Chains A and B, each alone.
Chain A
Amino acid sequence: MPAPKANLDWEALSLRLTFGILTIVAMIFLVAPTIVVLITSLTSSESLRFPPPGLSLRWYFALIDADQMQRAAWNSLVIAFWTTLISVALGTAASLALARSRSKWVRAADLLFMSPLLLPALAFGFAALVYINKLGFSPSVPFLVAGHVIVCVPFVLRTTVAALSQLDPSLLDASISLGGTPWMTFRRVILPLIAPGLASGAFLCFMASFDNVPVSLFLADERTEVLPIHLWQQIDTNLDVRTAAASGLIVIFTLILMLITERVAGLTQQMR
């Protein structure tokens, strides 16, 4: 039968082609700019230029005195920390229900929790601002964290639900028939086994909060400027080379966090 074989070859070819194109696109638009930023941040000159005339770490040292930028970075870290903590707690609790139940209300809740992934975050940020103003409040850190949680919780939810659906239900039955309470079953059986999924969800959630612009734009108050917005303003007003150095640090920081997550998730994977 030559026809199906030719068909298969086409499929393999188109798969390889798609894969190749995606890889090239990722290289051009993701990896290359990252490398350009890293190299630019090492410039010895006074201006943002590529390629740099000479290499030095002077702009990284300049960050030590960049008080405003440091404050913005600290704000972003604190907000990402609380966002992740709350998202992991809420996301885990919700996913326990989502993974087990087939009821249509739970399905509807799932869709609701996931909708921030689809809705434009800009529209959400704007609407949230209008809403809390109507309620007589003004933007503040708790509202900012709440806003971040809403747009970041889907990351935790998805990875945790996936991890839970991999979990053999007879393990839970075993725990309970051995006399285990629901809490003991959760702490000693469920939690250790979904930890890798939870860790990668927490990582995605942290990063999503850390570089979130649209929600922060509307919900941050005057005093709590976050890092991505601060950096953008610096570029916009005076092409500050320290922005490149800050971007370089963020890239390095992300890579380290990614490696740690991989390690933790990988290690727990090994423990299975």
Chain B
Amino acid sequence: MALRGHRLQLDNITQRFNDYVAVSDINLDVAGGEMVALLGPSGCGKSTLLRIVSGFIRQTEGSVLFDGQPVDHLSPSQRGVGIVFQNYALFPHMTVADNVAYGLQAHKWPAEKIKPRVAEMLALVHMTEFAERKPRQLSGGQQQRIALARCLAIDPKVLLLDEPFGALDKNLRLDMQIEVKRLVREAGVTTILVTHDQEEALSMADRIAVMSRGRIEQVSPPTEIYDKPQTLFVNQFVGTTNAIPGEYFCVGNKAKVTFAGGSSLDVPKTPGYIDSSKVVVSIRPEQLHVVPSAGLVGTVKAVMPLGSHVVYDIEVPAGVSLKVSEPREGRVAMRRTGETVHVAPTSPDACHVFPAS
């Protein structure tokens, strides 16, 4: 897969709509054939960024480069960017085959080469027998395959997927995610996947760029995004977490955070804080445990048995309620509502310290 596909660089991209900054100082380097997910809540600027890459918006500042060459002067029809739209945007009055042939005709392919190419693309997405159907005669998943085949037919330099699975129901979504990942891998095309669904980003992308309010907060491989979030936003947006406000103190070569009510937890020593710095400690529910003693003392407010795990909602004097997720083993009796328990992280490394906002 290496050396296939085209490198895509976003260099200091800023987009303003009048006074509103929709996208701010974005830098992103996507290797040839890599799939990067843009993950963020709606309104954070993902679609705007896609429209800049595809050339439909000319960015206020910065530059888009393919293979190191700026493409800012190229119109969307000249850029060679394939887009799969959320609603697929298949031409409703054309057959499936005509839809796939459209880009080839636009690129002035000779007619005798178009036919075999269309057949090849339809075979690739397992849709050969649907060539003469109209889009409305296809299911959502089938329409998506055709939309993808239509893009890949013209061998795009960069493939953009804008919330491509949003219109599919949950079971089909997973199938199509696997299918699309396979197709994109085989084609070796550099891909940007836009989504607000963290599971989709985690399962599909080589790297995830988490966006918030027009900025990229972190770009990392999926496991790193989950295990080593660099900001509280990333920590909270990807997976669930407990955020507890407190004060940071250095104790020799260790560190701790004390909370309202006097309790405290050991945390990894984190540079950039002095004693009494206001911080937020973030611990994921599965990295908290109910323990016999020590840790934080709290009261069980709710017990939610969720299949293989049980989730407790525990109120601690620090003024917050913590979610604690524990494996549900037959021998250990579940805690009861109202019970007083001790809660502690599995290790100090499970605690992430972020500046209080």
Chain A residues in the interface with B (C-beta under 8 A): 168, 170-171, 173-181, 184, 188-189, 192-193, 268, 271-272
Q: Measured between alpha carbons, how far is A272 from B135 in the docked complex, in Å?
A: 9
Main secondary structure of the interface of A (DSSP, over half): helix
Verify A179–B154 contact, CB threshold 8 A: yes
Verify B92–A173 contact, CB threshold 8 A: no
Task: For residue A181, give the distance in angstroms from its CB to the closest CB of chain B.
Answer: 7
Chain B residues with CB under 8 Å of A175's CB are 91, 102, 106
Chain B residues in the interface with A (C-beta under 8 A): 54, 56, 75-83, 85, 87, 89-93, 102-103, 105-107, 134, 136, 150-151, 154
Main secondary structure of the interface of B (DSSP, over half): loop
Residue of A nearest to B86 (CB): A170
Verify B102–A272 contact, CB threshold 8 A: no
Q: Measured between alpha carbons, how far is A175 from B77 in the docked complex, in Å?
A: 8
Task: For residue A199, give the distance in angstroms from its CB to the closest CB of chain B.
Answer: 14
Q: Measured between alpha carbons, how far is A257 from B54 in the docked complex, in Å?
A: 45
| Set A180, A192, A268: member contacting B77, Cβ < 8 A | A180
Chain A residues with CB under 8 Å of B89's CB are 168, 170-171, 173-174
Chain B residues with CB under 8 Å of A268's CB are 93
Task: For residue B36, give the distance in angstroms from its CB to the closest CB of chain A.
Answer: 19
The total of interchain contacts (Cβ-Cβ below 8 angstroms) comes to 69
Residue of B nearest to A189 (CB): B91
Known: A173-B76, A174-B89. 5 other contacts (CB 8 A): A171-B92, A174-B90, A179-B77, A180-B103, A272-B93
Q: Measured between alpha carbons, how far is A99 from B89 in the docked complex, in Å?
A: 19
Known: A177-B77, A178-B150, A179-B106. A170 touches B93 (CB 8 A): no
Residue of B nearest to A178 (CB): B103
Task: For residue B182, give the distance in angstroms from its CB to the closest CB of chain A.
Answer: 23
| Set A168, A180, A192: member contacting B93, Cβ < 8 A | A192
Verify B82–A177 contact, CB threshold 8 A: yes
What 6 pairs across the A-B complex have the smallest Cβ distances? A178-B103, A179-B106, A170-B89, A174-B89, A180-B106, A170-B85
Verify B102–A178 contact, CB threshold 8 A: yes
Verify B83–A173 contact, CB threshold 8 A: yes
Task: For residue A172, give the distance in angstroms from its CB to the closest CB of chain B.
Answer: 9
Verify B85–A181 contact, CB threshold 8 A: no
Chain B residues with CB under 8 Å of A271's CB are 92-93, 134
Verify B102–A176 contact, CB threshold 8 A: no
| Set A181, A184, A193: member contacting B92, Cβ < 8 A | A193
Residue of A nearest to B81 (CB): A177
Task: For residue B218, give the distance in angstroms from its CB to the closest CB of chain A.
Answer: 29
Task: For residue A198, give the distance in angstroms from its CB to the closest CB of chain B.
Answer: 14
Q: Measured between alpha carbons, how far is A175 from B103 in the docked complex, in Å?
A: 8
Q: Measured between alpha carbons, how far is A12 from B134 in the docked complex, in Å?
A: 40
Verify B93–A193 contact, CB threshold 8 A: yes
